[in-house]
Structures are given as structure tokens and as C-alpha cells.
């Protein structure tokens, strides 16, 4: 976990499509992010994030959650932390990962676990934040990259970006607008965190 080497090594955890993981890969590909994704992990063996990673030649693993549908058992968290450490990961990015990370994994990557959330936190934590914004009649929403702590979407904010909620927006049209912002924001937040870690080392 040293910051001595030049290229930042990222591990990504996701449960779904992986468009944010793809955006990070694209930023690496176009030279705006000096990093390498070395391992992609998913709790869902069918998740498209795994396919995307395989197509990009990145190592993948399915996380064994002991049969639990939503829980992230402590022993699974330790196993994930060990895989990430073995891969030499410097920073862990949650990208649409739908289980709550708790102490075992947090303690293995202190201040090195980031999450992207589709709202302007602290507004609309939790599930389907874009749907919450539409139901609430908000006229603005957005996305947040934050450090992960033991709460739900409560960790210190790294960067945020706002988008308007337009008249006639459905949850889906708002989410699509938010995702375009997410794809810019996550690489920028990774650059910011890595620059800070390097300046401290």
C-alpha cells in the first residue's frame, strides 16, 4: 500500500453495469488519470462490470457472501481486503457496489476507500437516490464522491457535481443525467485523493 511507486493501483468493487469503472478506464486510456485498475470484484456473478473488466484484460473475482443477499459478512470483507492487498491496491473504489462496507474492510484500507453516490450528499442517501430526488420535487441533484466510513453514505465528501432536475424528468432520465456527471467526477476525485496521499508521503 505504499505511495512510492509511480502508477496508482486501483481496485474496484461493483454490483451492476460498471459504467463508472468504464469511465475510470477511459480516463486512464486517454491519459487524464495516471493509474491502473488491477482488480475488479463483484458480489454478483452476472454483473456486467465483470464482463467489462474481462474485456479490458483486468483480473476479476466474485465475492462469496456466504449466501446472504444483502449482507456483507465480516469474513467476506476480510477475504476481499486480502485479495486487494495481494494485488497491491493503493485505493479502493466502490462503483455501484450495493453492500455496506464495515469495519473489517475499512480497517484494512483506512482513508483509502472511496464511493460514488448519485445525489448531492447529505441529501438522499441510500438506495435509488435519483428516484428520491424526483419524488421529493427537488430542482437540483447530482453526485458525490466521498470517503467510506461505517455509516451509509456519510463519509467525508471529496468532490460533488450538480445537475438540474428538469420538468418531466423520470427517475431514469435524471439518473442518466447524473451518470454523465459521475463519469467525469470519479476520475477527478481519484486524482485529488492520490495527489493528497502522495503529498503526505
Among this protein's residues, is 117 annotated catalytic?
yes
Stretch that binds ligand GAR, among 30-38, 52-60, 116-124, 187-195 (CB under 6 A): 116-124
Binding ligand GAR (rule: CB under 6 A), the pick from 10, 12, 13, 18 is 18
Q: How far is the CB of 100 from ligand GAR (least distance, A)?
A: 9
| 182 in contact with ligand GAR (CB under 6 A) | yes
- Dist. CA 70–CA 78, nearest whole Å: 17
CB-wise, 17 or 161, nearer to ligand GAR? 17
At 79, phi and psi to the nearest 5? -65, -40
**Catalytic member of 5, 117, 146, 175:** 117
- Strands of 5-156 (E only): list them: 8-13, 35-42, 59-62, 91-94, 113-117, 140-147
Q: Contacts from 103-107 at CB under 8 Å and sequence distance 24+? A: 103/74, 103/150, 104/74, 104/77, 104/78, 105/72, 105/77, 105/78, 105/80, 105/81, 106/148, 106/149, 106/150
**Minimum CB distance to ligand GAR, residue 123 (Å):** 13
Residue 118 lies near ligand GAR (rule: CB under 6 A): yes
**Alpha-helical regions (H) of the chain:** 19-29, 48-55, 74-86, 103-108, 129-135, 171-200
Q: Which of 12, 13, 20, 132 binds ligand GAR (CB under 6 A)?
A: 20
Check binding of 17 to ligand GAR (CB under 6 A).
yes
Question: Catalytic positions, please?
Answer: 117
The site for ligand GAR (CB under 6 A) is made up of 14, 16-20, 49, 95-96, 116-118, 129, 179, 182
Amino acid at each position: 500500500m505504499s505511495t512510492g511507486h509511480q502508477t496508482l493501483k486501483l481496485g474496484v468493487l461493483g454490483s451492476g453495469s460498471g459504467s463508472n469503472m468504464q469511465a475510470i478506464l477511459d480516463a486512464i486510456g486517454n491519459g487524464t488519470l495516471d493509474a491502473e485498475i488491477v482488480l475488479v470484484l463483484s458480489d454478483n456473478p452476472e454483473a456486467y462490470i465483470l464482463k467489462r473488466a474481462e474485456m479490458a484484460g483486468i483480473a476479476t473475482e466474485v465475492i462469496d457472501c456466504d449466501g446472504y443477499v444483502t449482507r456483507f459478512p465480516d469474513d467476506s470483507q476480510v477475504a476481499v481486503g486480502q485479495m486487494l492487498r495481494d494485488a497491491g491496491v493503493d485505493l479502493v473504489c466502490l462503483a455501484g457496489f450495493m453492500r455496506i462496507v464495515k469495519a473489517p474492510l475499512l480497517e484494512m484500507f483506512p482513508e483509502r476507500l472511496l464511493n460514488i453516490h448519485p445525489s448531492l450528499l447529505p441529501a438522499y442517501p441510500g438506495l435509488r437516490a435519483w428516484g428520491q430526488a424526483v419524488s421529493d420535487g427537488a430542482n437540483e441533484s447530482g453526485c458525490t464522491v466521498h470517503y467510506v466510513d461505517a455509516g451509509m453514505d456519510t463519509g467525508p465528501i471529496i468532490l460533488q457535481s450538480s445537475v438540474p432536475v428538469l420538468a418531466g424528468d423520470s427517475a431514469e432520465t435524471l439518473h442518466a443525467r447524473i451518470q454523465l456527471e459521475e463519469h467525469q467526477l470519479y476520475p477527478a476525485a481519484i486524482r485529488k485523493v492520490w495527489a493528497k496521499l502522495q503529498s503526505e508521503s
